[in-house]
Structure 1
Amino acid sequence: MAYSATMKQAIGAVRASLAAQGITIQDTRFARHGEHEPDADAPLVLVACSGGRDSLALAALASIVCAAWGVRCGAVVVDHRMQPGSAGVAAHAAGQCAALGLDPVVVRDVRVVDAHGEGAEAAARAARYAALVGEARRLGAAVVLLAHTKDDQAETVLIDLIRSGGLDAVAGMPPEQRIDGVRFARPLLGVARADTTRICEDLDLTWWDDPTNGDDVADDEPLPARYPLRSRVRHTLLPQLSAFAGRDMATMLADGAALARRDMDLLERLADGVFARSVRIEDDGAGGMRAFIDTRSLAAEDAALRFRVVARTLAMCAPGSGRRHVEAVEALVSDWHGQRGVRLPRKRTANRQKHVIEVCQDVTHANRRHRA
């Protein structure tokens, strides 16, 4: 089959992403053009497929690359059961993945529970990643591919700027990351949603559009506030920015994110060393973690590194901590004048005694729980 320029570009993106994970052609016999039957012990690449245009296009692209390289390729379809007919959508997506030659194809039902009041979208994302991690471990996958596109990256940058700001917000989603020990990669961060649509059309793949995207609302009408923030950014804000600037702001934001990610990765590598020298993490014996921060060591570092080390510590010991929490704990390091401890999410506190800050369960909450 002759591939279009769009298809060739996307195939190249998947090839480059897999190569960055150390997955390449498995044997010289696979150097011949065409599809090849992979060996039973060949690496397994899993595609996270929702049935939408982006993930179906990625499933097709991955199957082409893996078949040419002698690599096994499968898919995981997660059914969040949050909308009527979701089981049928999941089954249809699984059927299309199987028809593309992916094997194994697994459908996972998940129960979405917003246990921490972070919203349905965040709870669904947490449940989805937990399911993907579980299947990747069970199947021994080398990497899980996620279908986030250039448009998704631009939307993520805008959402993060609205919610938080800083370099991390501008950097958007990383092209690769580890979650609970499982490798994830995003090959399509440089590919536009219009291109994944074209790929699906060329391959006669029928995709599902999430009704919460607001595709049924006219382009010149803003989405009502009842729609998720990402949908409102996609439908209303990003097109308005592009019209205002007179250029494709999705490309501008995604390209800028790639540059910011390079700088952020350098800061993270520097922070690794500072964290190792300044922080000790322990199991608190109650299902959580506690930390001991050496203020003498950390105070000698640049403010940017101090902030990152404190933020990393709180992410481990007091999940849900925001910028104000990080800044307050960092002040215990850099601006210590005997101030009281900092109250943190999940009934945690950070208290300084001499040159050590302890981040642990709040004793008041713990005593109240034991008296109840």
Structure 2
Amino acid sequence: MAYSSRLRQAVGEVRKSFDRAGIEMADARFAQHGKHDTDPDAPLVMVACSGGRDSMALAAVAHIVCSSMGLRCGAIIVDHNLQKGSGDVAAEAAQRCEVLGLNPVMVRNIRVQETGKGMEAAARQARYEAIVDKAHNLDAKAVLLAHTEDDQAETVLIGLMRSSGIDAVSGMPERFNRDGVLFLRPFLALTRAQTTGICEDLDIDWWDDPTNGEYEDRATVLPRDFPLRSRVRHSLLPYMQEFNGGNLKSHLAQSSALIRADKDYLDSQADGVAKRTVSCESMKGVAASYGAVQSDDVLAVRINAVQLSHEHESIRWRVIVRALSILDIEASSRHVQAIDQLIMQWHGQGPVTLPSCYSAFRKNHVIRLCQDS
């Protein structure tokens, strides 16, 4: 069949994503003309599929690309059990992936436990855990996520509402590693309209999640009991696009890519400084440098305040956040700035109180982060 322009672009974006991630052809014969069968033990790429239009389009395109490179292409569908009939939705998504030719295709049934951060965050955490576990079991080279340019624009706006600084507007990375599994987002340059068109081109059915507000008779403004992302998608972004008079979604997504380059540079600099200025006290009483000990074995974290005082504040704050993250302390910007005061304007003041019964106390040139007990 002749590929539409949007399908050709999608194929190109997946190929570029594979190239950047170092995913190569399984065998030199796939560079030659003609049809070649994929080996049963060829490297495996998995698609995280919800059954929606974006992930169904990605499943189809990924299968096309993987077949041309001699790679196996599979799919994993996670049933969160949060909506009535979710099992049927997952089973239908799996059947559609199988019809497309993906193999293996599997459904993971999970139970989402509220952790105090909201059900949306809890579901995301449980979903990633299930995908990572299966990717490890199958020795997958990568897992593909179907986030689009629209998702990126929504993420930037949500970041502005919930946080501050360049991290808030840097959006989602095209590539990241989670617990030893490589995740790729090859569709960040494609719009939701394009993924819808790809499904139509290939005669693929999809499922629309009702909590995303995807129904024809919806009001102009979604009720507040809908998830924030749905309200941003259907109420805020359309208003802003009309007000702006241009393609605001594309502008937000492209800006986030430029900002992410700045963020990545600052993060790399902060990592180097953290290795020189942050150390850990393990449960066994052994001191270890930053990144050299598991967080569940850390009793306290030490920051060399004198050495860190010579760095720019943007680096200092990032190093402080890294020190807090070792102990899984979810501190606010107010806590970070208070610890920075212990570095830059210390005059014998008392400890900084942190969440989860932790505190930061300076003695001489060292700031120690530990639980109060």
- What band does the TM-score fall into relative to the shorter chain? over 0.9
Per the alignment, residue 105 of structure 2 pairs with 105
Change (3 A) 1:308 1:35: farther
Matched, 1:351 2:350: no
Per the alignment, residue 341 of structure 1 pairs with 351
Determine the C-alpha separation between the residues in 2 that align with 1:342 and 1:131: 37
Per the alignment, residue 91 of structure 1 pairs with 91
**Aligned-pair distance for 1:33?**
4.3
* SS of residue in 2 equivalent to 1:3: coil
Matched, 1:173 2:172: yes
Question: Percent identity of the aligned residues?
Answer: 53
TM-score, normalised via structure 2 length: 0.93
Instruction: Give the AA of the match of 2:103.
Output: D
Determine the C-alpha separation between the residues in 1 that align with 2:217 and 2:281: 53
Q: Can you give the 5+ residue segments of structure 2 that lack an aligned partner in the other structure?
A: 285-294
Determine the C-alpha separation between the residues in 1 that align with 2:189 and 2:281: 40
**Aligned-pair distance for 1:121?**
0.4
Determine the C-alpha separation between the residues in 2 that align with 1:49 and 1:350: 43
Change (3 A) 1:234 1:288: farther
Change (3 A) 1:354 1:108: same
* SS of residue in 2 equivalent to 1:78: strand
Determine the C-alpha separation between the residues in 1 that align with 2:281 and 2:113: 28
Per the alignment, residue 23 of structure 1 pairs with 23
Per the alignment, residue 239 of structure 1 pairs with 238
Instruction: Give the AA of the match of 1:134.
Output: D
* SS of residue in 2 equivalent to 1:156: helix
Per the alignment, residue 325 of structure 1 pairs with 335
Instruction: Give the AA of the match of 2:353.
Output: R
Aligned partners of 1:55 and 1:147 also within 8 Å: yes
Structure 1 window deviating more from structure 2 (30-39 vs 297-306): it is: 30-39
Determine the C-alpha separation between the residues in 2 that align with 1:341 and 1:354: 13
Could you report, residue by residue, the CA deviation over 1:248-292 in whole angstroms, capped at 9, with x for unpaired residues?
A: 111000000011011111111111110111111344479463321
Aligned length: 362
Change (3 A) 1:123 1:42: same
**Aligned-pair distance for 1:340?**
2.4
**Aligned-pair distance for 1:197?**
0.5
**Aligned-pair distance for 1:19?**
1.0
Per the alignment, residue 307 of structure 1 pairs with 317
Instruction: Give the AA of the match of 1:151.
Output: D
Per the alignment, residue 271 of structure 1 pairs with 270
Per the alignment, residue 57 of structure 1 pairs with 57
Change (3 A) 1:280 1:39: farther
Change (3 A) 1:207 1:258: same
Instruction: Give the AA of the match of 1:156.
Output: T
Per the alignment, residue 124 of structure 1 pairs with 123
Structure 1 window deviating more from structure 2 (320-329 vs 143-152): it is: 320-329
Q: Can you give the 5+ residue segments of structure 1 that lack an aligned partner in the other structure?
A: 364-372
* SS of residue in 2 equivalent to 1:26: coil
Aligned partners of 1:318 and 1:348 also within 8 Å: no
Per the alignment, residue 255 of structure 1 pairs with 254
Matched, 1:292 2:302: yes
